[in-house]
Amino acid sequence: MNTSVAADTKIPDVGHRERLLQGMARAVAARGYTQTSIADIVREAAVSRRTFYEHFSGKTACLLALYETASGVALGVLAEAVDADRPWQAQIEGAVRAYLECLAADPVLLRTLFVEILGLGLEGLAVRRRVHRAIVDFICAAVPDAQGKPLDREMGMTVVGGIHELVLHAVEEGREADLTALVGPATRLVRAVALR
């Protein structure tokens, strides 16, 4: 995710928290979440262990924050790809492509965020749900249904769940770097749900 919190991504260096998220991204990209320690994170961030604990209660909290931050960046890319002055049908493929390219920009981090978040139990599920709700809110506002009304939330969740399941399937098969192959099916899903 070149515009996300990828291992090589530049979050504006405005403080220690952001440096720690960058450090977490780099450490996870190099070692995987399970093998990443607090020492790895602080070394990558070039901050002290004390500074880490001023911002996060532990490694899990840092991963959850990284997940939310990276997902927020991806949602921002999606939002930037949409022009409210143009019909949504003309924009959907470009918006889906921009979102998937953002996700694919860092395959190692993508795998960690799509797979490791599921292993964090209820905390991971809760943050995943919050992120999905934010994307659903965006989709419901940007994509009207067949009657021209905002897409309802259940259909918005169908789109988000479907696209993320396509991405997870690609990750499981080791196709993280080629998510643009999903543009066609993801675009068809959005159109089918909206025009039902």
- Averaged pLDDT for residues 53-80: 93
pLDDT at 43: 97
Q: Is residue 3 over pLDDT 50?
A: no
Q: How far apart are CA 196 and CA 191, in angstroms?
A: 8
Report pLDDT digits (tens) over 119-140: 788 999 999 999 999 999 999 9
- DSSP-derived secondary structure letter, 144: B
Q: How far apart are CA 193 and CA 17, in angstroms?
A: 39
Report pLDDT digits (tens) over 26-42: 898 888 888 999 999 99
pLDDT at 8: 46
Q: Which CATH number applies to 59-194? A: 1.10.357
Report pLDDT digits (tens) over 39-52: 999 999 999 999 99
- Averaged pLDDT for residues 96-104: 94
Smallest Cα–Cα separation from 19: which of 30, 5, 29?
5
- Does residue 66 contact residue 24 with C-beta atoms inside 8 Å? yes
Q: Is residue 160 over pLDDT 90?
A: yes
Q: Is residue 12 over pLDDT 70?
A: no
- Does residue 127 contact residue 71 with C-beta atoms inside 8 Å? no
Helices 88-104 + 59-80 axis angle, to 10 = 150
- Does residue 45 contact residue 20 with C-beta atoms inside 8 Å? yes
Q: How far apart are CA 41 and CA 53, in angstroms?
A: 11
Give me the chain's average pLDDT, please. 87
Report pLDDT digits (tens) over 179-192: 999 999 999 999 99
Give, rounded to a whole angstrom, the gap between the first and last alpha carbons of the chain.
Answer: 32
DSSP 149-167: SBPPHHHHHHHHHHHHHHH
Check residues 133 and 107 and name the one with the higher pLDDT: 133
- Kindly provide the b/e burial profile for residues 33-61, where b requires at least 16 CB atoms within 10 angstroms of the residue's own CB: beebebebbbebbebeeebbeebbeebee
pTM more than 0.75? yes
Report pLDDT digits (tens) over 138-151: 999 888 877 888 88
Check residues 85 and 167 and name the one with the higher pLDDT: 167
Determine what percent of the chain is predicted with pLDDT higher than 90: 62
Q: Is residue 9 over pLDDT 60?
A: no
Check residues 19 and 30 and name the one with the higher pLDDT: 19
